Amino acid sequence: MSFFKRLKNVVSAKANKALEKHEDPIELLDLSITKKEQLFQEAKKQCANFMASVDSIRKEKKDLQDKINKYEEATKSAIQKEDTEKAQSFVKQKLDLQEKLVQTDNRIKEQDEKIQLIKNKIQDLEIEISKMKSKKQELATRLDVAEISNEINETLAGLNDDNGINLDELEKKVSQKESYGKALEDLKPKDEDAMLDEYIKSSPAVDSKVNDELERIKQEMNK
């Protein structure tokens, strides 16, 4: 594969991915529904025209049947008048019309079957459109919930984003500065009163019994 052809494929793939990212599934479904509704209306019109043409054939059938009935009556009249030639002529015309009537009836049956198939397809299309509309409503609701949920999650993710700040590391640095400050406080020169106060505070408390015993031992030592 040539370099330019590979480059074209890469660009095409990225373009398709970008388009898919910005596609609105609800808009796509709505567009499909609109197209199917247009087909549905067009199919209904064509079916109505088809049915009208079959109705005209039914009129032809009725006209043929009326003529056949008339030739039947004419044949009876010719027989009554003993006009054999006319009777035979009328019978011949009647038989020709009956053959046409059979053909016409067959045409009507064939067309009726086609019309029924078309009606079934139109009904299936109508059911499909109804299902698509229901699915559109369902998907629209789910999409709204998903978008709201994503917005909430993005907000919460933003709250947890400390821009690279490590709180434990910050606390450690603050503790170091506090220790440093305390060390400087301890190294600061003290005045005499402060030193005495510190010495007094640091002196251990002596139990009175221990103190008495200590005095007794000192006195014995001085004897």
Do 108 and 153 share a domain, yes or no?
A: yes
- pLDDT digit string, tens, across residues 187-222: 666 666 666 666 666 655 555 676 777 777 778 877
Candidates 60, 61, 93, 59; CA nearest to 75 is: 93
Q: What is the CATH number of the domain that holds 118?
A: 1.10.287
* Region of poorest pLDDT, from 5-19, 56-70, 72-86: 5-19
Do 123 and 206 share a domain, yes or no?
A: no
In the predicted model, is pLDDT for residue 65 greater than 70?
Answer: yes
In the predicted model, is pLDDT for residue 8 greater than 60?
Answer: no
Burial 150-160 (b: 16+ CB within 10 A, else e): eeeeeeeeeee
DSSP letter at 204 equals P
Residue 141's pLDDT is 86
**Boundary residue ending a domain (106, 132, 159):** 159
DSSP letter at 101 equals H
Do 200 and 217 share a domain, yes or no?
A: yes
Would you place residue 28 in the very low, low, confident or very high pLDDT band (cuts 50, 70, 90)? confident
Instruction: Give the residue numbers spanning the domain of 196.
Output: 167-222
**Boundary residue ending a domain (124, 159, 194):** 159
- pLDDT digit string, tens, across residues 95-125: 999 999 999 999 999 999 999 999 999 999 9
Choose between 25 and 54: higher pLDDT. 54
Residue 191's pLDDT is 64
Do 22 and 60 share a domain, yes or no?
A: yes
pTM to 2 decimal places = 0.53
Do 26 and 83 share a domain, yes or no?
A: yes
In the predicted model, is pLDDT for residue 19 greater than 50?
Answer: no
Do 120 and 205 share a domain, yes or no?
A: no
Mean pLDDT of the 59-79 span: 94
Number of domains within the chain: 2
Do 46 and 146 share a domain, yes or no?
A: yes
Burial of 97 (C-beta count, 10 Å sphere; 0-12/13-18/19+): buried
Do 118 and 146 share a domain, yes or no?
A: yes
Question: Rounded distance, CA 219 to CA 186, Å?
Answer: 41
Do 152 and 173 share a domain, yes or no?
A: no
Question: Rounded distance, CA 150 to CA 77, Å?
Answer: 92
Do 126 and 150 share a domain, yes or no?
A: yes
* Region of poorest pLDDT, from 75-89, 139-153, 193-207: 193-207
Residue 97's pLDDT is 95
Mean pLDDT of the 46-61 span: 93
Do 125 and 174 share a domain, yes or no?
A: no
Do 29 and 63 share a domain, yes or no?
A: yes
In the predicted model, is pLDDT for residue 163 greater than 60?
Answer: no
Helix 25-80 × helix 84-159 angle, to 10°: 170
